[in-house]
DNA sequence: ACGATAGGTAGGGAAATCCCTACGCGTCAA
DNA sequence: TTGACGCGTAGGGATTTCCCTACCTATCGT
């Protein structure tokens, strides 16, 4: 279905792309401030611009961002579809942490209710 | 709130732990087959057992599994709470992929419906 | 007490990651 | 056309990851 530039599995690329705080921050910026050029993104980081370019490459190859060329700028845009795959991956685990919260809930029920 | 064994951010540890197919497979096994010892897990992988031990260590330090000592065995159990953090992290992005699906939906609506 | 079993740790090598500086290429403004 | 701007790529170094083979400790059965 998806064409993989190298041979890494789809999920590997997505999770690996997310496993870096700079790249997650890029996603947040694109989400909150909308599509923007590389320099505008780079202004938020204490990092050389070419380094950020490589982070953008990782995000691109994970399908998490797309680029549109406008003159000499490259406008990057959030592509959230792979994150839906992450949520799908999470689904079978959901009942496990809900079970845990249920335990916690009933534990709290049995406590005296003089909490702040 | 959470005690970090080293200095890495909480989310970094979780995403990094998930960014490996062996470790995701361990989580799946613990989810589908329940808590089990290291050797039982190792049987599913074409990998030396000490290597799997290190994967388990990564999962432990991310809070994704817990161990219970029973005799000379260590029973590993899925701890899904950190995955709830992942879902929380995903939440603000949800509307983006839903918007995309809406676009796709209206696109499909405009197509002739003679599909297989 | 002894050997076997379960599983973690040490040490090391190959490859990947993450950062840098230098540089190349395309685009815009003068 | 020439120079400045925007951004990617090359190449390299430090660190981390992921695998291995040894080896150690702890527990169990005899």
- Residue A81 CA to residue A47 CA, distance in Å, equals 28
CATH number at residue B61: 1.10.10.10
Query: Which residue on chain B is closest to A32 by alpha carbon?
Result: B92
In a domain, A105, yes or no: no
Mean pLDDT of B104-112: 55
In whole numbers, what is the pLDDT of chain B averaged over residues? 86
In a domain, B102, yes or no: yes
pLDDT 10s digits, B51-98 = 999 999 999 999 999 999 999 999 999 999 999 999 999 999 999 988
Domain total in chain B? 1
What is the model's pLDDT at position B5?
A: 38
Domain residues for A36? 10-80
In a domain, A88, yes or no: no
Q: Is residue B104 less than 8 Å (CB to CB) from chain A?
A: no
Q: B-contacting residues of A 66-95, CB under 8 Å?
A: 78, 80-81, 83-84, 86-87, 89-90, 92-94
In a domain, A36, yes or no: yes
In a domain, B46, yes or no: yes
Q: How far is B71 from chain A (nearest CA, A)?
A: 26
Contact partners, residue B22, CB within 8 Å, separation at least 6: B45, B47, B52, B55
In a domain, B41, yes or no: yes
In a domain, B90, yes or no: yes
In a domain, A109, yes or no: no
Q: Which two tokens stand for residue A62?
A: 């994970």
| CB pair distance less than 8 Å for A87 and B81 | no
In chain A (116 residues long), the average pLDDT of successive 10-residue segments reads 48 96 98 98 97 98 98 97 96 88 58 46
Candidates B28, B81, B84, B103: best to mutate against A (most CBs of A within 10 A) is B84
């Amino acid at each position: 279905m998806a064409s993989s530039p190298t041979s890494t599995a789809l999920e590997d690329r997505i999770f690996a792309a997310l496993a870096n705080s700079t790249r997650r921050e890029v996603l947040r910026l694109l989400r909150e401030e909308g599509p923007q050029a590389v320099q505008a993104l780079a202004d938020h980081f204490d990092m050389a611009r070419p380094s950020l370019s490589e982070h953008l490459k990782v995000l691109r190859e994970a399908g998490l961002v797309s680029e549109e060329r406008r003159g000499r700028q490259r406008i990057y845009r959030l592509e959230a579809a792979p994150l839906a795959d992450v949520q799908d991956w999470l689904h079978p685990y959901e009942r496990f942490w809900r079970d845990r919260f249920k335990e916690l809930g009933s534990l709290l029920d049995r406590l005296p209710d003089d909490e702040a």
